[in-house]
Structures are given as C-alpha cells and as structure tokens.
Structure 1
C-alpha cells in the first residue's frame, strides 16, 4: 500500500509540475505581442484594406515600415497579415522557421475551382500532395537532361519571335516594335509546347492565350470573397459565375489537348522511333497517382488547373522580366554595347544563333539578367505563406494561421546591401561587386529573392534563368535596339498579373549588319 501511495504521489507531483510549466509557457506566449501596425477597428480595418489594390498598398506599406519597423501587422480579411521588409528577418523566417511557414492559405470555397481544389503546386497545403506535385514537375520536366531536350524547340520559338518582331518593324516607317506583345507570344508558345507536347498553330495559341489572360486579370475580382465569405458569395455570385465560365472555356480548350496526349502515349514507342515524340508536362500528369487519396488518378479539373499553373508561372514572369531587361538595354546603350562585345568575343560576328552551351561563357550576360531581376522583380511580393504553429520571430508572436508576406522589391533595393540601388548597374554582379556570388536561392543569406526562398521557392528558377539568358543574348545578337525618335523609355510600373511597364516598351530594331 505504501509503495502504491508513493507512486501515486510521484505521478501527481509530476503531473502538477507539467501543468504549471505548460501554463507558464502559455502565459509567456500570450504576453508576446504581434508585430506593430496601425490600430483599427476589426471590421472597419478589414473593409479599408480589402479595397486596396497592391499598387495602392505598396506605398502605404513603405510608410508603415518607416513608422513601425521591419515587421508590420495589418488586419486583412479574417486573420492578421504580417509583412516582412528586412532581408535578415526574412531569412530567419523562411530558413530557420521554414517548416512552420511553408503552408498556403485555404481558398474560399466559392473560388476553389481556380486551383482544382488546391491541387496545384502553388496552392496545395504543405504536405504529401504538394511534395508529389512539385517532385513530378522538377524530376520529369525541369531537371537538366530534360530541359536540354527542349533546345530545338527554344530555337523554333526564337525564330517565331524574330519573325514576329520583324513583321512589326516592317509594318511602320519608324521600324518600331511594341516588344511585350511579341515576348508574350513567344514565351507562351514555348510553354504550350512543353505543356502539351504539340506545336500548335498561331490561332490555337492565341485562343488559349486570350482566354488564359482574361481569367488571370479577372481573378483579382474574387478577392472580395475573402471578406465574410458566407455573405459575399451570395452578394458577388455574378463574379463567381463569370470566373467559373472563364475556367470552363479554358477547360474546353485544354481537354482536347489532354485527350490527344492520351492517344499519343498509346503510340509512344512508334512516335519515338519516328522522332516525332516530345515528352510533355501533361504526359507526366497522366501517369500520376495520388497515394494519399487511395491511389486515384488526377481528375480533368485538376489537370486543367495544373496546366494553367504551368503556363502562367513560366510565361508572364519571364516575358515581364525580358521586357524590363530590354528596356534598360535600350535606355543604356553603353550596357548594350558592352554585352554585344562579350557575345561576339564568345561566338564571333558571323554566327546567327547563340547556343545554350555558349551562355556559360558569358559572365556579363548573367550580370545583366541578375540586375534586371534585382531592379525589376516581376513580383514585388511572393505568394503569402500560412503559419502552421505559433512562431516567435525577433521577439514578436507570429500566430498560427496568420499569413506572412515578404516584400521582395524592398529587399532588392536595400541601400545597406546595394550601392545606388535604383540604378541599373550589372557590374555589381561581377568580381568585386556587392552582388558577386550572390545566392539567389537565399539558403545562405537573402540579398534578393525574385523566385522566393525556402521550401516554397519557385521550382522553375533554373528554366527561367536559361530562357532569359538565351533570348536576351539572341535578341541582341540579331538586332540593334534603339529608342524611338522623340520617345523616352519610361520605367514607371503598374500592376497586372506581374509588375509590368506602365508604358510598354517601344523600340526601333535594326538587323545587325554582320548578319545581313
């Protein structure tokens, strides 16, 4: 009896101490406060921020940073939104607390059709499904040997782009082109081929592009559904209906292409023997099974959402970055001349096309691309991260279920890191410059993060860099790029799906005399 009494007392004491320690920890956590931010009545605060576009929000956030510091809290929607401006704080959040900050916000039920009910890489919750989707993309499409197989198709798209630009230039006396239209068509054509394995005709590509872009631009109209979703889904039912119809139209364009790949796969061996088979993203999706969902195959809706994600992730961001880089080369003829000199040193003055293996010997080209991404990141914020457990960051509580946003542009323009940060100076990425050897993945430290950092970093980083280097080098090799007489290159920004030029680049292109 005495032994059992001792055991009982010992267990009671241990339980009591555990409860006391837990209570002390809980109280300490409760005493932690959110990062500072403007005071707001909850409902009114939500209403105020809800109607602000990112274009309006950025200058407001910069002002808040000057008042509250490098971490700011706003009440947007039903949860606190944390904005991080400082690169060191961002590194601690994304690397040291990476697991807790790797989830995504759950879309409101009324708009889940846009993401195939969170069955895309960018929207899937952090877990087995996300790992499976990401691993499929990186291993089947984006790994180096597979990317090399698309080299002939990049050459084909370069010819499409060159012809498109020449046609524009020949249609007016000034020889001027509106570059972004051509860039977008070229990038979209390439991504459609990689996605569906087919060289579609110009009309088919244009139909997909128009439907896709309409949905992209309209989807911002659904942000209002995040505020009191049980009510707004009825108030704004017409917006949901319109977006749903747009998705249905895209599905009508995508599904026949997906069905065609199913037939191609049945004849895969014959096609390969004849040299006409191009392995595509859809091929990889057709083979996929979801172990966490009973080993089922992807549905049509999920495949359409993944194809849409693939096209958008590789088209708008790359074509936007390409336009910003070429705009700076038009504005800075000295940089254009220096880059052309490097290109001619590597490939000579007679060869028309620069091959992908040539790019490895062009350090100044890489510096130009890096400076373009630093000075003009296509997205000024990455997609918001959702917190899965309470995190203490620099003494502040980042609560479970909060959203965390990283101010990409602010980090790229940090005067503590970059001398004259708003100037376009590729030399900073050469030997001795402040950007020499910069780790764009941010694993060691963050100086710039145009592709995000950590577990949710864009898996297409390598492909995007290759496309930018390849097309910038070849566009400069084929044409001399000059400002249109009487027009100045305007580097003002505006928000669309990405941060684009407010006035799209217009330039005169002149074929290089050595290639005539």
Structure 2
C-alpha cells in the first residue's frame, strides 16, 4: 500500500517542485533586467518554440525580440546573441565573464567534464596544459608542415577510392568518404596507424576493429547531439529520464576501451624498445602526451585525461570536416557556374600535375571563397558550444546577463543576417573575393564576428588550422581529378538533391549526399 501511494504521489510532487522552481525563476527574472524575449509558457518556457532546428527558430525569434534575447528553456535562463555586435560582446568584450561552459548532462558520463579540454574551466591548470600541448604539438604550423606527407597519403587513397567507384559506375557517398579520410588522418597523426579502411567502409557489421571504431564514433556523435530533457530541467538530471547519459556512458566505455588498447600497446612497445636499445623513432602525438610533464609539478596526464582528450579530438575532428566537404559539394552541384569557376581555377594553378599540393592552396582564391561561403551558410556548429556567465555582467543596451545563465551565440543567424550579407540565402562565393588587405575582407579566424564557424576568444576551436588544411586539400583534389553530377532525379524529387538540415553534434545534411564522379 505504501509503495502504491509513493507511486501515486511521486509524479505530483515532482510537478509541484518544478512548478515552484519555475515560478521562483520567473520572479527572479523580472527583477534582473534581462534582455527582451518571448513570454514563457508555464513550466516549459519557450522550449516548444525551438523545434528540430533551434538555430533557425532562435533566428526567427531574434527578428522579433532583438539581437540579444533572453529565453526561458525549461528552468534554464538562456541568453542568445544573434548579431555580429552581440557576438563581439560575448566573445571579446566580456570574454572572461562568459568563458565558462554550460555543461550538458552527457558530459557527466565518466566525469568527462572534469578531464576534457572542451568543458574544463579556462582557469584550470589542466585546461591550460591541454590547450598548450595541443596548440604546440598537434596544431602548430611547424607540426602541420611535418605531417604534410600523411595528409597527401590519405587524400591519395580518397581519390583512388573515388576513381574505383567511378569505374564501377557507383555513386559516391561524399560525407562518408570524407569522414573516414579525416578519421585516418587523425589516427595516423596520433597513433601512427589507420583506424578504418576506406576500401571497406560500407561494411557496418562491426566485425573488424576498424569498422567498430568508426561505428562507435558515429553513434556517439549522433547521441550527444540529441535534445536532452536533463539539459533544460537540471533538477531531474540525476534521474536521467531519457536514458541518454547511460547511452553516452556505454558508448564512451566502448570508445575508451579501443583507445586504451592503443595506449597499452604503445607502452609495451616503448618498454621493449628501451630493453633492446632500439634506435628512437619519430614521436607521434601519443608519444608526446605520454612524455608530457608539467613545468610546475612535473606530473603527466592521467589515463582518464588522455582518454577524454582523444575522444574530443576524434569526435570534433571527423564530423566537422566531413560535414563541410559534403555541404560544399552539394552547393557546387546546385550551382554549376561556381563548380566551373572552381575547376577552371584548379586547371590554371595545378595544370597537368596529377596531385594537388598543400602549397597550391594559397593560390586557389576562389576555392577559399567557396569554403568561406559554405561556412557562412552551413556553419558546422550553428550555435557554437554553450557558454556560461561566470559573473552577472552588463552588456550593450544596459541589459544584465545573470551569473549562471547559459549563453549561446547563434552563428547561423549571423551568417544569414540580411543587413550584413546581401541575399543571405544565396550561394555566392564571389562576395569573399576581395583583397586580403581590403577593409571589407572577412575571414573566419575569430577576428571578424560576421563569420565565426570556429568561434572566437579563449574558447575558440584549437583544431581550426588542421581542419582548414584537410578540407581544402580534399575538395581541391576531388574537383581537380573528377567532374561531378547529381544522381538521376527520383519521381518525387525534381533536382535529385535534398538540402534539408539535420542538427546533431554538427549541422549535416538530413539526406546524405550521393553524387556521380567522372574521371577527368
């Protein structure tokens, strides 16, 4: 009987508690001089206004309420910046105040947020150490130059695989190939080995270690991107009502086990090499991480920190590059004149050389403009990762952002702002064809807040230099070696290409792009 009463009253008590917290939050909001925003519904706030593509929904709300907007999402106060000036406020003028991270519930799996460079506070010595070693040993220009031959090899395999598909008359799954290419580039740089075979990427049985790693990583990226009730109602997060934290923890466990094997194998190889007095081999990034010792305390990174960093690198470094390559190819297929200009530029710069070199990219101005335009229209992370206010801060307009508020920068809305970008929905790479010293020149390296695919400030993505080299090299090679066309249209699809978006960990195409390649 007591159990029956408990089951009867527990939901009522939970609703009462959440309602009370909601009302208290509304009362507090009314006294905090928040930016304008839509009137929230009881309990859920403006959650139902977000839909499946919140970057678009928030952009529409900003048209009514202004470039700095307050939303009540469940019981969480969220401040949304939707213009270049508002983004500059958040990411530059008040960078220190907004440098905290609003932690999604999934980051609590394996206490990931206490080890991850992505989620650690910028005041943390561990964050500074991880950022320093990644910037200096993985993404620094001299390190990237050292690994040019690796990237050349991975792109050569990509081109070879596309050539085989072209001979067989088979369509090319663009994102899938780009994903495996980026994955192998990272794994070769970090572990000195490939983690997937591009020639058998259609095998999803999970029977091989390579396909298993690729599958777990893809599933983790998809699961992390799912909307989670716990992120909007932190009061019930401990209950994990959707079971997403448990799913993420299970995927982390599988991913960590595979990376742990690489670490253990390397430790054993190092012991064996030392015992045999073997000549020292060139260090890869795993060696650098294992040898790291902090200048202050002489301590290295613990195993969990290593696993968290590697998980972040593989999650962020694969999907983002694959999605960008896919969007660029889709836009070029829909805009044949842009495709023709890109291929004409390649013919002029590359000539009869069979391969594109990284040193050629600097001369491919139109290709660079194409990538910028794709970043503007289809930013990989349209809302960036959520920031959190460390202190109550006054921003432009005299509005206050309360301590603990979630702060979101809608880079998709900024890229589609008609006041900044004429015909913002139109794919026009020519808008970026200005001299680099022209005051109208816009770049994506964090200084121009009209274009922020990698963010800005101390939380800016450190992997940008590698991502840019890989994306440009893949695209240039695919466009130089092949002509591209759409699949024959289906009866219910006039142009044969669905440009609908899907928002997960990154913004990708809801229907993966498949195209026909013809060798030149």
Which residue is equivalent to 2:465? 462
**1:359 Cα deviation (Å)?**
1.4
TM-score of the pair, normalised by structure 2: 0.83
Q: Are 2:128 and 1:126 aligned?
A: no
Q: What are the Cα deviations for residues 171-197 of structure 1, in whole angstroms up to 9, with x where unaligned?
A: 44xx42222211111111111212222
Checking the alignment, whether the CA contact within 8 Å between 1:429 and 1:435 is kept in structure 2 is no
2:180 matched to 1:185? yes
Instruction: Let me know the Cα RMSD of the aligned residues.
Output: 3.0
The residue aligned with 2:501 is 493
- Which one of 278, 282, 288 corresponds to residue 284 of structure 1? 288
Residues 227 and 502 (structure 1), Cα distance of their counterparts in 2 relative to 1, 3 Å cut:
closer
| Displacement after TM superposition at 1:76 (Å) | 2.6
Structure 1 residue 505 and structure 2 residue 508: aligned?
Answer: no
Q: Any conservation in 2 of the 1:222–1:240 contact (CA below 8 Å)?
A: no
Which residue in 2 is equivalent to 1:104?
101
Aligned counterparts of 2:109 and 2:340: Cα–Cα separation in 1: 49
Q: Kindly state the Cα deviation for residue 478 of structure 1 after the two structures are TM-superposed.
A: 1.0
Residues of 2 paired with 1:424 and 1:435: CA distance?
Answer: 22
Q: Structure 1: any 5+ residue segments left out of the alignment? A: 1-28
Q: Which of 382, 386, 405 lines up with 2:408 in the alignment?
A: 405
TM-score by length of 1: 0.84
User: What do the CA deviations read for 1:426-447 (whole angstroms, capped 9, x no partner)?
Assistant: 111112799952132333x411
Give how far 1:97 is off.
0.8
Relative to 1, partners in 2 of residues 1:348 and 1:267: Cα closer, same or farther, differing over 3 Å? farther
Aligned to 2:492: none
1:428 pairs, out of 411, 427, 431, with 431
Q: Choose 221-230 or 362-371, whichever is displaced more.
A: 221-230
Aligned length: 474
C-alpha displacement of 1:497:
2.2
CA distance in 1, matches of 2:515, 2:275: 46
Q: Distance in 1 between matches of 2:97 and 2:461?
A: 18
Corresponding residue to 2:322 among 301, 316, 319: 319
1:442 match: secondary structure: coil
Match of 2:229 among 224, 233, 245: 224
Cα distance change, pair 36–436 in 1 and its aligned pair in 2 (3 A): closer
Distance 1:117 1:55 in 2: 26
Alignment check: 8 A CA contact 2:159 2:477 kept? no
Residue-by-residue CA offset, 1:278-336 (whole Å, 9 max, x unaligned): 533322321334678x6543332221111110011111111100011111222222222
Report if aligned partners of 1:451, 1:461 keep a CA contact under 8 Å in 2.
yes
Structure exhibiting the larger radius of gyration computed from Cα positions: 1
* 8 Å Cα contact 2:497/2:513 also seen in 1: yes
CA distance in 1, matches of 2:431, 2:278: 49
Q: Which residue of 1 aligns with 2:35?
A: 35
Where in structure 2 are the equivalents of 1:126-275 lying within 5 Å?
A: 126-127=122-123, 128-172=125-169, 175-200=170-195, 202=197, 203-220=208-225, 223-229=228-234, 231-234=236-239, 236=241, 238-265=243-270
Distance change in 2, residues 1:71/1:378 (3 Å): same
Which shows bigger deviation, 432-441 or 82-91?
432-441
Change (3 A) 1:382 1:112: same
Q: How does 1:252-401 map to 2 (within 5 A)?
A: 252-265=257-270, 277=281, 279-289=283-293, 296-349=299-352, 351-394=353-396, 395-401=398-404
